Amino acid sequence: MTTVSVSSARSVPGPGARTEGAGLSLGMLASTSAALVLITAMFWTFLAKQARHSWATEDWSHSFFVPLISLYLLYQSRAQLRAAARGAGVFVPGLVPMLLGMVIYPFFLIGYPNHMGQGWAWVLTLYGATLLFLGPRLAAVALLPIAYLVMGVTISERVMVNATFQLQLLASQGAYVLLNVIGVTTDVRGNVLEVHTSTGIEQLNVAEACSGMRLVIAFVALGVAVALAGLRHWWQRVVLILSAVPVALGLNIVRVAVLGVLTLSDPEYARGGAHMLIGTVLLVPGFLIFMSLAWALSKVIREPRAVPAGPGAASPLPRSSGPLSPPARAGHRGGQGVGAWAGLGALSVGVLLTHTVVAALGYTLTKLPIDPPGGRVVASLPSETRSWLQVGSDEKLSTEVVATLGTENFVTRTYVQKGPAAGATPVRVQLHVAYYTGKVDTVPHVPERCLTGGGWSLVGGDKVVPLGLDDSTWLPLRGDDGAERPGLMTARPDASFGDSGGVRVVLPRSPGSLAARVSQFEWPGSPKRLWGGYFFVANGGHTPSANDVRLLAFQLEDTYAYYMKVQVSTEDAKSEEEFARVMSSIIGELLPELMRCVPDWAEVEAGRYPVVKTARSAGVAGGA
């Protein structure tokens, strides 16, 4: 691969003349463009998923602007890029980071699916390709603009959930202090503020949307961009970037406190659209504070005024050993040309393997949503079973809490035990069931986080407890050939209390081993105790671990993915053993009905469900 000749630093171009050799050779431009196309093709699954997620999630809508900011940073460094281009040439060691990124990507795509890891691999591959095809001098100038692309990669949900929960508590505690300082009597329990108004106590739930995580992400992304584009000294950049977090958190505390003050006049200001509007309006002063800090940092050191060069002045060149720097001269050697072809060949093989192998193995990297037959929802669960009867109506949740929950297919209701032993108080339990599909990358909400956020304190740790369900009515599932399907059992819902008509349904795989993760909670300053337990049904299996749901649902061979969270809580159990018996009783009677609210995975695996209508079949059905 050859490079364009560069004029000597002693030559003086005429006014308006373009310095020769300030650009790249056509060969280098062609190979670099081909590399970008191949990288885009290889990482297309990640890029498409990132675009869909950014479009659908407000917290990451800024991702669309990150590449534009990177391009602007490159444009701002155009003088350095032109100077560095004089020494551009193939740099064979650049194969190392490029190949490393190409190896990491399949691991996070197939071996251990992780979107954030895929994004980091993409950025590393881009930088490695820049180093390989354009050389270290130009890659050094492009390092920060390329690294900035990390700001557009969605952070792992597990990291986000843990950070968001802590920020919720911080926003609640901060707003609690601020409201009481200004004279608004307020109590706080977990992430719930209790504002004392003239008519009573209004609860303000600091949900995930109010945690401040959105502000932190946006401010850090803005801070890095402003620091790179507007500040020259490293310490100024560090100060500005570090200031983004406290500015965002402080602003969010003020935001929650303002909602608390407005609650005094009308509680609706803290809910729904008004709640979101107030939060958006309060972003403006936060951005002004942040930009003012950037302006102040830029004025701390007065930079010497540059002396404009005359019309005939030569453009300054980076220090080099002559018209052609060593990397550029090396680019004329055949070995360097072989390095470029090796890089393009490696990228081509990467594209071929990533897509061809995945297709040949029948892997589906982007799972499709799937609903149960007839679109049955979990709210259709029967209000009565042999031993349990619903009391009251299903609980209604606010718009913010539903957004935090992440699905509208849920039910929260209370059941009371029928026919307790003589002299015993009937046990009351709360059942919460939520169905998710097409969202296997999310981490479900569990009592350890939700109940502590509501003011409860976790007593000790959690424990996995076998439920020991009654299997007297279970029968093995038999295939079309009459043979038993290992691990698959069927049960008949109780037709006396539902509309199933006694049709048998398929239970989760190995239902006899079904277990729940159980925890005990206490209310501060009160003798109240609460037991909570949960498990998940995902793609026909079950697990008591929120972290394992994603692995259970994200089977590479599966086209579809879903999971259902089943949670039971009560204040009437006196011990772990008693709670296990209570949970086993209600889950054992509801399990067949619960499985009617999810797809029959045996039918899905057999390819009989869902029925996918092709354009041709639809046309025939329509009389075409």
Mean pLDDT of 8-37: 62
Residue 62 has pLDDT above 60, yes or no: yes
- Cβ atoms of 536 and 444 within 8 Å: the answer is yes
Spans of all domains in the chain: 26-154+329-360, 167-298, 373-477+484-605
The order of strands in the sheet holding 475-478 is 475-478, 484-491, 505-506
Q: Is residue 333 pLDDT above 50, yes or no?
A: no
pTM tops 0.85: no
pLDDT score, position 216: 74
Give the per-residue pLDDT at 233: 82
In terms of Cβ atoms closer than 10 Å to its own Cβ (0-12, 13-18, 19+), residue 75 is exposed
| Percent of the chain clearing pLDDT 70 (strictly above) | 78
Query: 116-173, pLDDT tens digit by residue?
Result: 899 999 999 999 999 999 999 999 999 989 999 998 888 876 676 666 667 777 888 8
Give pLDDT, residue 47.
92
Instruction: Tell me the mean pLDDT in the region 357-386.
Output: 84
pLDDT average, residue stretch 532-543: 94
Q: Is residue 510 very low, low, confident or very high in pLDDT (cuts 50, 70, 90)?
A: very high
What is the C-alpha to C-alpha distance for residues 206 and 71, in angstroms, rounded to an integer? 37
Does pLDDT of 327 surpass 50?
A: no
Per-residue pLDDT tens for 211-229?
A: 556 667 777 887 788 888 8
Residue 387 has pLDDT above 80, yes or no: yes
**pLDDT of 18 above 70:** no
Instruction: Quickly state the pLDDT bin for 517 (edges 50, 70, 90).
Output: very high
Mean pLDDT over 53-75 rounds to: 83
Element (H, E) at 402: helix 399-405
DSSP E strands in 441-597: the ranges are: 457-466, 475-478, 484-491, 505-506, 515-522, 529-538, 541-543, 562-570
pLDDT above 70 (res 11):
no
Residue 579 reports pLDDT greater than 80? yes
Q: Which residues contact 149 (CB under 8 A, 6 or more apart)?
A: 66, 67, 70, 122, 123, 126
The token duo for 485 is 């399907």
